[in-house]
């Protein structure tokens, strides 16, 4: 997770502002939320809402379902620092995040099944 704290990072080559590293409290808050029952319930609720009316099988999950679930899940962030520091993810951000972990191109291949989606 990278956040934009003005003044906390040197500019990148070419003069673009760099993203500052998040502080330990924000990382701990995110880890706590991601490992909570509240997160698990929220992402399942968001996924269910996005899939409603689509005849889901929890196999071959489309990139659109991924993007819409991530955007809906963002609205479930705990109030406070996380809510204010983390912008709503867009498809470009999600694709970039997946690339950094070596995931397949979800735009071409989707996600194999719900087990891969949860990971």
Q: List Cβ neighbours of 76 (8 Å cut-off, separation of 6 or more).
A: 38, 39, 42, 43, 45, 46
Q: Identify the band that residue 116 occupies on the pLDDT scale cut at 50, 70 and 90.
A: low
The token pair at 24 is 């330990």
Least confident of 7-11, 75-79, 100-104: 7-11
Rounded distance between C-alpha atoms, residue 107 and residue 11, angstroms: 32
Residue 14 confidence (pLDDT) above 70? no
């Amino acid at each position: 997770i990278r956040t934009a704290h003005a003044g906390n990072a040197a500019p990148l080559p070419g003069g673009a502002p760099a993203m500052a590293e998040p502080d330990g409290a924000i990382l701990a808050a995110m880890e706590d939320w991601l490992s909570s029952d509240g997160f698990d319930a929220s992402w399942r609720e968001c996924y269910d809402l996005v899939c409603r009316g689509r005849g889901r099988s929890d196999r071959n999950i489309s990139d659109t379902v991924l993007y819409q679930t991530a955007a809906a899940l963002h609205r479930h962030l705990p109030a406070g620092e996380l809510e204010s520091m983390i912008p709503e993810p867009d498809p470009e951000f999600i694709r970039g995040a997946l690339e950094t972990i070596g995931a397949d191109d979800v735009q071409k291949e989707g996600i194999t099944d719900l087990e891969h989606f949860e990971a």
